[in-house]
Amino acid sequence: MRSSKPGQANVQEGCARTAASRFSERTNSDQATAQNPSLKYQASCAKSPSIIGTRHEAGCQGIAERSPITPPAGAEDSSSGIGIIEITFNCHRQESSNENSVFGSRTGKSEFKCTGTSIQACFAEFQTRDPSHIVPSIEQRIRIIQARNFTPSSPTTTTALTNVRIFSGHDIQSPRTVFITNGLISFSPTPNPSATTIIDGQNGILLPGFIDSHVHPTSLTDLEALSSYGVTTAMSMSCLNYTLCSSLLNLPGLTTFITAGFPAMAPNTSHALLFNTPLNELITSPTQAPLFVSEVFNNGSSYLKLISEPNGLSQETQTAIVAATHARGKQAMTHAVDFLSYSKAILSKTNGLQHIVFDTALTPELIATIKAQQQHVTPTLNIAHTLFQNPQVPFGGAPPNYTAASASVLALHNAGVPILVGTDSVTNIPFIKPIPMGVTLHWEMENLVAAGMSTVEVLRAATVEAARWHGLRDRGRVEEGYRADLVLLMPGSDPIGNISETRRIARVWNGGVEFGAVASGEGLGNPKLPGGDS
């Protein structure tokens, strides 16, 4: 959890958040003390320039200096107005366990609005020699989106998809016409009986847009890659930078980005070390759970993620974090890949178990507990082959056993535990080969079929079941009034006969907006299956 030294305060990390949400705990004092850590986000709005704190971002630490406030015309209150925040980042990349090397620095300015003792800062794009640290400004994002030549339906226009065969969630229906009006699905053309755009589906299959239930997009490029493969919703399983995450929210015509907050981790664990996480960001006691959970959701996160791993969060701490999350009416998701850590996650009553046990098979007793507690599982079998084949990746249990992992998935499925499709795709973790966005969802569907699920069951796991278990009531089906997240396959494709044919994509719509650059995925074989890429 973030804390400030006396006289300092952290700057808000996310211009999409309102001042009231992130800065809900404050007083008029500039002091944040150990006795009252809830003041860690306060900031003064005095007229004179002052240093207002430090900010960490993707391996960088910055000192933010604020210019004098300019009060509104005719106002006597100097505690409100407009100013400029100037931030200089000195960026370090960890080259080894005890050595850092400076690889760049940057300075940028961002306007902030100061009201009372709150600050809302929107950080624009800063120049750096490390492109991975560039956060696009709002204006730049708008230009990028406009350049894609999207043509969204408006309330007065209708797109008609003729001669399409809908996947109902159980079978493929007879050819019919589907209308897209104002981003929603309709089976009648009202209120406008004459469609502005008519697209002949040529008897192709129309699927709901796919939902990746475990993925880590961190850029517009990632969202574009997801869209190109028909992934219209991304459940981002952590947020290490709230500014960056807020910049990916609600982008028209792109994959919907739904994110967890900063994950709950313990000190000296593999994840904490991998991300070089400061001690004050980590959890050491169950008593910290309420404040940590409050911070995650006050930053606009949709759900919360915990990391359960060897020498990590205790059973008591995990249970406390999950309980505090549920008290807010929110869901918790827990990463676990070894047997003991998985057992802790199950007993915490987390909503979703992320990954499967990779070192041994799950026991019938644990499977029965998962079923009884109505938990769902996103196995990410793709990771058992790709990620843990890298000897540089720390693993707490026995060596990964793909056969055991696959057998556990089938046992869970046969017991009636909901299985969802997730990839754990990520493109920017140091020392780890990027796991591509989009195509990996199709690989994972193939993996689940190979594990013993039927093609219909896997299609449901990537659409209607994913929407159901994540509480997304507006998507996952091709039905009247649902969000027009759609994937039209090429004529002749049959994903029920062969799940690999989900890659034969003709068109994709995100909320009724067609994405123009689809990828068929042909030639990109699943590395886990015979004949796949190595």
pTM over cut 0.75: no
Per DSSP, the residues of 49-73 read: -EEEEEEEETTEEEEEEEPPPBPPT
Q: Evaluate if residue 391 carries a pLDDT over 70.
A: no
Phi and psi angles of residue 343, each rounded to the nearest 5 degrees, phi first: -60, -40
DSSP 344-385: HHHHTT-SEEES--SSSPPPHHHHHHHHHTT-EEE--HHHHH
Assign 3-state DSSP to the chain and report helix, strand, coil percentages, each to 5.
25, 25, 50
- Compute and round to an integer the Cα radius of gyration of the chain: 24
Q: Taking the mean position of all CA atoms in its chain, how far away is CA 355?
A: 15
* H-helix or E-strand spanning residue 307: strand 304-307
User: What's the rounded mean pLDDT across residues 165-177?
Assistant: 97
In the chain, what are the domains?
Answer: 19-135 (no CATH), 210-474 (3.20.20.140)
What is d(CA 402, CA 528) in angstroms, rounded to the nearest whole number? 10
Integer Cα distance of 255 and 215 in angstroms: 12
pLDDT tens readout for residues 174-189: 999 999 999 999 998 6
Which pLDDT score is estimated for 32?
A: 27
pLDDT at 410 over 80: yes
Residue 191: cis peptide before it, omega within 30 degrees of 0: yes
The gap from C-alpha 173 to its chain's centroid, in whole angstroms, comes to: 33
Tell me the residue type at 25. Answer: E
pLDDT digits (tens, 9 = 90+) for 349-388: 999 999 999 888 999 999 999 999 999 999 999 887 665 5
Between CA 355 and CA 336 the distance in angstroms is 6
